[in-house]
Amino acid sequence: MEASTVLRLKGLTKRFGPILANDDITIELQKGEVLALLGENGAGKTTLMNMLFGHYLPDSGNIEIKRTDDNLVPLELGDPSAALAAGIGMVHQHFTLAENITAFENITLGAESLFSLRRNQKKAQTKIKSIMSHSGLDAPLDIPVGKLSVGERQRVEILKALYRDAHILVLDEPTAVLTPQEADSLFSNLRRMTNQGLSVIFITHKMREVLSFSDRLVVLRDGKNVGSMKTSDASEKKIARLMVGSETQKVSSKRIKPGGPILSLNEISVAGQSKRDSLHEVNLILNSNEILGIAGISGNGQNVLADLISGLVAPDRGSIVLKGVAIENISPFNMIKSGFGRIPEDRHRQGIVGGLSVSENMIIERLDDPQIQNFGFLRSSVINKNAKTLSEKYDVRGPGIDQASRLLSGGNIQKLILARVFEKQPEIILANQPTRGLDMGAASEVQKHLIEARDRGGGVILISEDLDEILGLADRIVVMRDGKLHDAISNSREDIGLMMAGDST
Amino acid sequence: MIDILNILLTDSFWAASLRIATPLIFGVLGALICERSGTLNLGIEGIFVVGAMCGWMATWLGAGLWGGIIVAFICGAFFGLIHAVLTVPLGLSQHVSGLGITLFATSVSYFTYRTALPDVASPPRIEPFQPLDIPVLSDLPFVGLVLFQQTALTWLALLMVVLVWYVLNRTNLGLAIKAVGDNPNSVDAQGLSVYAIRMWAIVIGSALMALGGAFLTMSAFDAFFFGMVNGRGWVCIALVIFASWRPGKALIGALLFGAFDALQVRLQTEMGAFVPGQVFLMAPYVLSIVALVIAARSADYPRALLTPWFKGQR
Amino acid sequence: MIRIEPREKISNSSTVLIPIIAAVVSLLFAAIPLLAAGANPFVAYVEMAKGVFGSVFAISEMLTRATPLIYTGLAAAIAFRAKLWNIGAEGQLYLGAIAAVTVGSGFFDLPAVLLLPLIIVLGGCAGAAGMAAPTYLKVRFGADEVVTTLLLNFIIIIFLQMLLEGPLQDPMGLGWPQSAPILDQGMFPPLIDRMRIHSGLILAVLLAVIAHFMIKYSVWGFKLRAVGENSAAAKHAGININRSLFGVALLSGGLAGLAGVSEVAGLKGYLTADLSPGFGYAGIVVAMLAGLSPLGVLIASVFIASVFVGADSMSRAMGISSFLADLVVSVSLLCVLVGGFISKFKIVRAGTGKRFK
Amino acid sequence: ADKIKVAAIYTLPVEQQWISRIHKALNTAASRGDIEYVYSENIANTDYERVMREYAEQGMQLIVGEVFGLERAARKVAKDYPDTAFLMGSSFTPVAPNFSVFDNWIHEPSYLSGMVAGAATSSNLIGMVGGYAIPEVNRLMHAFMDGAREVNPDVKFLVNFIDSWYDPPKAKESAFAMMDAGADVMYAERFGVSDAAVERGVKAIGNVIDTSGDYPGTIMASAIWHMEATIDKAVSRVADGSFEAADYGQYSFMAYGGGSLIMDESLMSSETAAAVKAREAEILDGLFRVNVNDARPTSDN
Ligand SMILES: Nc1ncnc2c1ncn2[C@@H]1O[C@H](COP(=O)(O)OP(=O)(O)OP(=O)(O)O)[C@@H](O)[C@H]1O
Ligand SMILES: Nc1ncnc2c1ncn2[C@@H]1O[C@H](COP(=O)(O)OP(=O)(O)OP(=O)(O)O)[C@@H](O)[C@H]1O
Ligand SMILES: [Mg+2]
Ligand SMILES: [Mg+2]
């Protein structure tokens, strides 16, 4: 049977000031197809999808869509409600959920008239229940979204799109915050739905997902469509070449012999507000020349552990011992002083001050450094020179070092943080989800730096939900579950996956 | 202590508390709707003045009491619309726009009043809303005076509490208002207009504030005076936060403030000889801060408050 | 359908032209009430200009009115930079004034070189204390500072009335609720003979320039900006948020306190409960018009003061109700606000297509 | 003769009782054709001095106003414009050559109105609601209380200040609170008090202005201030060039017609009316002096 075209993006172009984010992009989508949209950070994938959904208005080009059996008709541009009415559902890269209302309310929001006197909850409940059982996606419906875990939120996002009877589903990096198992089940559910006629466009940076779940792929580079191929004809190498225009090799870590312990957490307990942010008698030893991988499903206490090592929370019980000396005053400042370098999880919110310039963000952790300041005044020439050097060395690309850092793309923000952290040559590095949402090139750059730091004699604590990354990089693996740490019984994918899920004993 | 207890037990004290609270109830509900949708409306003080002036002026010109209320409502909505245009699609500073609206609304009212009545020794009076005299209920002990001898506007205010609560918690509109104040993108991604929801919220909220002003000239008193709003709008801004943006708590907050004020008047009268009178005048404000400090932990802000949102920008 | 998009580049000519156009438009709007009151708008505009720039006296009066606005504008600008919403400059202004008359009206009979600096320092400290308290409540209990500072304004003014009928009352004041006058050597020296303009203005300008340099070039200013832009990231980076906030609070409160000092020790000589016709609130407007830039505060204060003094004097010359002055100020404020928007954003038309359903 | 150019500067809107009396007197003079009258109302103290100078620069011959908040500054302005006559409400002394002062010295009729109230109360409790506790207000309250005590030594007073010139709803609430506490006669210093009295069917005493038309059957008596005597005197002196620094306070006394008592005799016993009239005659003849007390009055307990 000849597949029929359900969507055609024709010559879409979008400019943001000087940046040509999308340059004359044409893409077609067939019925029942899973199309992977690939490209480096900043290649323009999200922009393209935002035009499809009506968030952005294209500078030129148009979109045609098939509703039922008739011909393709043009879609009203720049209006999400038109896109929704046309059967397009979108799962955004950044959550679009109101945290003060429940998942149920988020899903039904806008589906009924705003001016009906009562909400018709029964019918909606039934519909959501049936979507849940069809798709295999599950999330608690009746508690405020603010209390849900990241994975749950991601599923709510997808449910939201399906609830509006989408026949074209756009997923922008849906698996960035899911465990491998969650991702697998998401894709097998999607496959089931495409068999019933749903068409899917999904954006991801994970090759495994592209190769095993998509039918076809399109690669964007610098805002242009640089190639499209059947997945069956594709290989990781081919894709990478298209994406970056040259070949990159996967980082692999040569094991070296670890040194003596440099950091130990002894019987640390933190009583957080909920189970998700508590620690129970955690013991951990980090050696020099070692990458310690902490695997686990998000929401099991990784963030408190990260906050603890960042100095943001103090332990209720237990001690942090650095090279035999207990750290007295636990604060972010003292942790930096003691030689910690931290790559925070949420780079936009915790990593950079978006309103400050790139060069200012590069020195924000060393404000008391006499090289940076003179009698309390900043030495701007030094700061600028520093920024220039680091930008080159770490390949931070953006509109300029004196521009607000929020203008950088995600990958470049991460490079900025790397530059700031590694330049100090810290003895202990905490890397919390350091490659989440990064493209291959940027991710391998980060990984290379982590390995370099280890080889130089540092200790690295790598917290990641990407099991492949941990398996590839870590010298030793522990699994975090319910606020406790467990030594991995083996380095096999299956065993660790099971421990993460809680079936180890 | 005995004095205070005696006062607290009288029905006239609670009747006064509810009376004093009435304009605050309107104001705090209005501010609550604005802020729930993500916009701070510091225009409230001026919109009170507009409501007080326009409602009274319309009645005086012959529109009738309810006609005056409608005029006040519309005038409040108009100044709300200005604030809405400035802060929502244009995304301008909510602080400046709000203070600007207060100055603008106040001066327009004063200028209009003075231009219309250039030479009055005492302003013309209207026949204001009278206490409802409901046959049996008004004669009940205690509640008869407290509840059933208030004017229709007080009842309207109480009705508004219920209405606002219902809309926020039981309707899709309320859902959209709450969502747009937490994360406008959530509303946008569902095909609803962030601009429309926010602007309507501000317009309706401001119209309610104007009713608070109208109460002053059409129920609490029967004429308009310069300066008679006397900071009541600002108090509402404080009460919204005290109320954690919930209509029920807003009612309680307004009643508490009204009660402090009613108590203040009575204590000052009785104990003015021993304690400077100002101590009592201060009391409602001081106690509001104390209440806030106690309630602060649980206060959860509409997360998008003060943050403008533009379509097609990230 | 229309869309709003940021301008790619803000041209130099538009930064100059647009405020001017905004001012012109606001004058056009002002014609409405003028016509309503039966006055000739053109004559009125001439009178307005005369009222501000017509004589040295007029200019000096305008600057006199601008002086407290510079202080309160700076107070708001600095606090708002750190996202500390100090709405309490009005109250802090009075605290500064209270301190000024307490030490200045004969408590210490010091020579001018000592007394005036002492008044300034203590006035600033009093204002700072007035902002420290709400900041403490914010940091310790999470009490929202918008509310606490707003309510404190009322409390402080009532407290002042209490003082003025009690310990601070001028024994020679025939029972009026006013303080004793500040000693002559405690007063800001006047700048021009027989005019009210005083050296409090010089201090204000100086402070604006210092604030500009501190925010832009000092580590302290860097921290302040970082905390304001993104306190979570600043905290991560080892910046002590609470310390920064308290620093900003003290400074902001101190500046507002100086507004009170300048008014009482520069202008009136003694303190009454109606010292300020809302300078604290106007300061917020000034700061926001200035884009929270200390140097911008200087311009914005002069702008607001000019419009007010001009319109006020015009209303008198034309025999129109003096409520017109506030009306013109508010209209031009709103126009300038919109003008600032136009210089930063452009409005574009959106394309169309077919709609389903 | 040419009309005298007179400007008035008020710190509050002209509705304010006190100011309304000056405004009225000047308007009367203007309608008589004696003067050309302009005014600025609601001028903040900060701006007051500028406005004085502006009027002086405009060549006003007489400037009327109130300088309670800025006594020193106003005298400085007067010194700079010696050819302009200044007639200012002030607590202090005049300054030669051109700075005269006046004040609302209507303590005499206030005393008389107190007598009416003292006789009228049966609960022996009188409620008094004031704006701010300033000498102008305190003095009249004390005179009133003295008058009430003269006829009724057992009378007690409840006193409350709302700390605002214009908040009728608040004044009304204050009045209600006093009536709840048993007050059966109200001293209506502020707008709002008489309204409360009407609602509860209680009697009230007016002050400064005559509101008996607005509240028929409620206002028993009012102490009225007439600024005409003061204004006319000053205007005529400016006209014949004899204006000099003087205290015009006495022109508010009853003897000069600056103050008067009006009574609704139908609301009181004939003995009371007679006693009040007798006292009034004594005051007019200079046989009785009403005490002046500027301290803040407080409630009796
Ligand atoms: N609203 C906007 N305003 C300004 N620039 C934007 C905007 N949206 C995107 N850009 C810029 O357009 C370019 C493409 O961004 P886009 O988000 O589409 O990339 P992406 O392919 O989704 O990257 P990633 O993999 O990091 O998500 C980037 O340089 C980005 O900075
Ligand atoms: N506060 C948060 N809570 C949960 N998940 C988040 C949060 N912030 C971001 N994420 C998710 O983490 C992933 C990484 O997003 P992030 O914005 O940090 O980098 P990025 O995708 O590279 O940015 P860019 O879009 O600029 O390329 C995204 O899929 C996003 O949905
Ligand atoms: Mg993207
Ligand atoms: Mg990304």
- Supply the mean pLDDT for chain C: 89
Q: Does residue C301 contact residue C70 with C-beta atoms inside 8 Å?
A: yes
Nearest CA in chain B to A92: B189
Q: d(Cα A426, Cα A336) in Å, to the nearest integer? A: 9
Q: Does residue C65 contact residue C329 with C-beta atoms inside 8 Å?
A: no
Q: Do chains C and D touch (3 or more CB pairs under 8 A)?
A: yes
Residue A171 pairs with which residues in a beta bridge?
A91, A202
**Which is the CATH superfamily of the domain at A5-244?**
P-loop containing nucleotide triphosphate hydrolases (3.40.50.300)
CB contact under 8 A, C354 and A76: yes
Domain carrying residue C89: 69-288
Nearest to A291 by CA among A448, A442, A165, A90: A448
Residue A500 reports pLDDT greater than 80: no
Residue C301 reports pLDDT greater than 90: yes
Residue C149, min C-alpha distance to chain D (Å): 21
Structure tokens at D24: 């009225």
A94 Cα–ligand 4 center, Å = 9
Does C274 fall in a domain? yes
Residue A2 reports pLDDT greater than 50: no
The residue to mutate among A145, A220, A352, A436, having the most atoms of ligand 2 within 8 angstroms of its beta carbon, is A436
C349 Cα–ligand 2 center, Å = 31
Q: Read off the pLDDT of each residue in B173-195 and give the average, rounded to a whole number.
A: 94
Q: Is A102 in the pocket of ligand 1 (CB under 6 A)?
A: no
Q: Residue C355's pLDDT is what?
A: 47
Strand ranges (E), chain D: 4-9, 35-40, 62-66, 85-89, 99-102, 125-130, 156-161, 185-188, 203-208, 219-225, 259-263
Backbone angles phi, psi at A475, to 5 degrees: -85, -25
Residue B75 reports pLDDT greater than 60: yes
SS3 A435: coil
CB contact under 8 A, A350 and C233: yes
Q: Is A437 in the pocket of ligand 2 (CB under 6 A)?
A: yes
CB contact under 8 A, A56 and B187: no
Q: Where is A22: in which H helix or E strand?
A: strand A19-30
Domain chopping of chain B, boundaries? 22-114+144-230
Counting ligands in written order, which one lies closest to the CA of residue A44? 1
Task: Please report, rounded to a whole number, the percentage of residues in chain B having pLDDT higher than 70.
Answer: 96
3-state helix, strand, coil split of chain C in percent (to 5) is 70, 5, 25
CATH topology of domain A261-338+460-505: Rossmann fold (3.40.50)
Q: Residue D69's pLDDT is what?
A: 79
Residue B159: other Cβ atoms inside 10 A: 11
D203 Cα–ligand 1 center, Å = 76
From chain B, the residues in CB contact with A171 under 8 A are none
How does residue C302 score in pLDDT terms, banded at 50, 70 and 90?
Answer: very high
Which of A139-148, B211-220, C94-103 has the least mean pLDDT? A139-148
SS3 A246: coil
Report how far Cα C307 is from the mean position of its chain's Cα atoms.
Answer: 15
ipTM attached to this prediction: 0.86
Q: Read off the pLDDT of each residue in D268-278 and give the average, rounded to a whole number.
A: 92
C214: left (phi over 0), alpha (psi -120 to 50) or beta: alpha
Q: Residue A251's pLDDT is what?
A: 66
Residues 6 or more apart whose CB falls under 8 angstroms from that of D171 comprise D129, D162, D190, D191, D192, D193, D196
Structure tokens at D190: 């502020």
Residue B36, min C-alpha distance to chain C (Å): 16
Q: Is D298 on the interface with C (CB under 8 A)?
A: no
Among the partner-chain residues D20, D27, D160, the one whose CB lies closest to the CB of B268 is D160
CB contact under 8 A, C230 and A333: no
Q: d(Cα A428, Cα A154) in Å, to the nearest integer? A: 32
How does residue C339 score in pLDDT terms, banded at 50, 70 and 90?
Answer: confident
Nearest to A217 by CA among A36, A473, A422, A34: A36
Does C324 fall in a domain? no
Does C239 fall in a domain? yes
Nearest to C50 by CA among C249, C314, C293, C342: C314
SS3 D133: coil
Residue A502 reports pLDDT greater than 70: no
Whether domain A340-425 has CATH 3.40.30.10: the reply is: no
Chains that touch B (3 or more CB pairs under 8 A): A, C, D
A93 Cα–ligand 2 center, Å = 7
Report how far Cα A91 is from the mean position of its chain's Cα atoms.
Answer: 14
Q: Does residue C78 contact residue C70 with C-beta atoms inside 8 Å?
A: no
Give D72-78's long-range contacts (Cβ < 8 A, gap of 24+): D72/C181, D72/C269, D72/C270, D73/C268, D73/C269, D73/D48, D73/D49, D74/D48, D74/D49, D74/D99, D75/D99, D76/D49, D77/D49, D77/D52, D77/D53
From chain B, the residues in CB contact with A110 under 8 A are 172, 176, 187, 190-192
Nearest to D120 by CA among D221, D224, D207: D221
Q: Residue C353's pLDDT is what?
A: 47
Nearest CA in chain A to C229: A355
DSSP annotation of A196 reads T
pLDDT tens profile A10-35: 999 998 877 789 999 999 999 999 99
Q: Residue A1's pLDDT is what?
A: 40
Residue C14 reports pLDDT greater than 90: no
Q: Is A351 on the interface with C (CB under 8 A)?
A: yes
How many structural domains is chain C composed of? 1
- Supply the mean pLDDT for chain B: 90
Q: Where is A12: in which H helix or E strand?
A: strand A5-16
Selected for mutation to probe chain C from B42, B107, B117, B280 (highest C CB count within 10 Å) is B107
- Closest Cα to atom 7 of ligand 2: A346
Residue C172 reports pLDDT greater than 90: no
Does C60 fall in a domain? no
Q: Residue A192's pLDDT is what?
A: 86
Nearest to A103 by CA among A174, A62, A152: A152
Q: Residue B72's pLDDT is what?
A: 98
Residue D89 pairs with which residues in a beta bridge?
D66, D102
pLDDT tens profile A405-446: 988 877 889 899 999 999 888 999 999 989 887 877 888 888
A178 or B222: which leads in pLDDT: B222
Among the partner-chain residues B13, B16, B120, the one whose CB lies closest to the CB of D15 is B120
Nearest to A446 by CA among A478, A477, A476, A412: A412
Q: Is A359 in the pocket of ligand 2 (CB under 6 A)?
A: no
Residue B222 pairs with which residues in a beta bridge?
none
Residue C42: other Cβ atoms inside 10 A: 10
Domain chopping of chain A, boundaries? 5-244, 261-338+460-505, 340-425
Does C37 fall in a domain? no
Sign of the alpha-carbon dihedral angle for C17, C18, C21, C23: negative
Q: Where is A5: in which H helix or E strand?
A: strand A5-16
SS3 C13: helix
Strands A5-16, A60-65: pairing is: antiparallel
Q: d(Cα D244, Cα D239) in Å, to the nearest integer? A: 12
CB contact under 8 A, B226 and D299: no
CB contact under 8 A, C142 and B313: no
Q: d(Cα A310, Cα A330) in Å, to the nearest integer? A: 9
C174: left (phi over 0), alpha (psi -120 to 50) or beta: left
Q: Residue A196's pLDDT is what?
A: 85
SS3 A294: strand
Helix axes C89-104, C56-81, angle to 10 degrees: 120
Nearest to C181 by CA among D69, A186, A165, B253: D69
Q: Is C3 on the interface with A (CB under 8 A)?
A: yes
Residue C169 pairs with which residues in a beta bridge?
C179
Q: Residue A148's pLDDT is what?
A: 85
CB contact under 8 A, D163 and C175: no
Nearest to A479 by CA among A467, A469, D273, A468: A467
Q: d(Cα A459, Cα A426) in Å, to the nearest integer? A: 9
Which of A135-144, A177-186, C48-57, D270-279 has the least mean pLDDT? A177-186
Q: Tell me which range, A124-138, C306-320, D141-155, is most confidently predicted by mean pLDDT.
A: D141-155
Q: Which atom of ligand 2 is nearest to the CA of A411?
A: 22
From chain A, the residues in CB contact with B312 under 8 A are 50, 55-57, 78
Q: Is C77 on the interface with D (CB under 8 A)?
A: no
Residue A94: other Cβ atoms inside 10 A: 13
Q: Residue A69's pLDDT is what?
A: 66
- Closest Cα to atom 26 of ligand 1: A41
Residue C356 reports pLDDT greater than 50: no
Strands A373-374, A279-287: pairing is: unpaired
Q: Which atom of ligand 1 is nearest to the CA of A411?
A: 26
Among the partner-chain residues D42, D49, D54, the one whose CB lies closest to the CB of C313 is D54
Task: Please report, rounded to a whole number, the percentage of residues in chain C having pLDDT higher than 70.
Answer: 94
Fold identical between A5-244 and A340-425? yes
Q: Does residue A219 contact residue A38 with C-beta atoms inside 8 Å?
A: yes
Report how far Cα C195 is from the mean position of its chain's Cα atoms.
Answer: 22
